[in-house]
Amino acid sequence: MTRGSFVVFEGIDGCGKSSQARRVAELRSAKFVFEPGDSALGAELRRWLLDAATPMTPVTESLMMLADRSHHVATVIEPALAAGTSVAADRFYASTLAYQGYGRGVDLADLEAATDLAIGTCRPDLTVLIDIDPETARARGARRVEDRFESADAHFHDRVRAGYLEMAERDPGHWFVVDGRGPFEEVAGVIDARLDDLPW
């Protein structure tokens, strides 16, 4: 049985990654997954994680994201890949490095060690970073009620974006950066040209 391809879509809130991940999953007959919250346990964790009214330290936030991810890998992602189904994911471990590491200031080496514990060797074949500046992303109009991350200070999303770009630059073989400012179809075309190189 050939293992499925594992492609992850990353970027700051409002970059358009969720729509592109869903589109790619449909186009390539892959399984669409998302984090946090893509399981019964995950949905409970997501509720707490996004609730701006529940104070939480950055380390607690990290560990809850990792608990969701560990469960997600074990019960959803890894079984699909092992059965030969490709997976298109809306966020994965780079989100924790970008948001909790670069954004909140949790030690990156500690987060990487905890990530190893949470997901073992289950790594994406490719991570597509849809890069956009926070101002443009915000102008696209997010949710009515801001969650914990959307209500963070203005520079938070600048730090998250810079973190993503640094990770992509350090590992160009596993990352693909797309300019997310253009129309949906234009961004889709650039992504599809790169994804054609992968076995689906």
Binding site for ligand TMP (CB under 6 A): 13, 35-36, 65, 90-91, 95-96, 99-100, 149
Nearer to ligand TMP, 3 or 37 (CB): 37
State in angstroms the smallest separation of the CB of 177 from ligand TMP. Answer: 18
Considering the complex, state which of residue 4 and residue 134 has its C-beta at the smaller distance from ligand TMP. Answer: 134
* Shortest CB 108 distance to ligand TMP, Å: 13
What secondary structure letter does DSSP report for 144? S
Q: Is 123 helix (H, G, I), strand (E, B) or coil?
A: coil
Nearest of 69, 88, 93, 97 to residue 166 by alpha carbon: 97
> For the sheet containing 31-34, what is the strand order?
31-34, 87-90, 6-10, 126-131, 175-179
- The distance of closest approach from Cβ of residue 142 to ligand TMP in the complex, given in angstroms and rounded to an integer, is 8
Does 36 sit behind a cis peptide bond, omega within 30 degrees of 0 on the bond before it?
yes
Residue (91 or 159) nearer to ligand TMP, CB = 91
Residue 103 Cβ vs ligand TMP, minimum distance, rounded to whole Å = 7
Q: Count the helices and strands in the chain (H runs, E runs).
A: 9, 5
Closer residue to ligand TMP, CB minimum distance, 4 or 103:
103
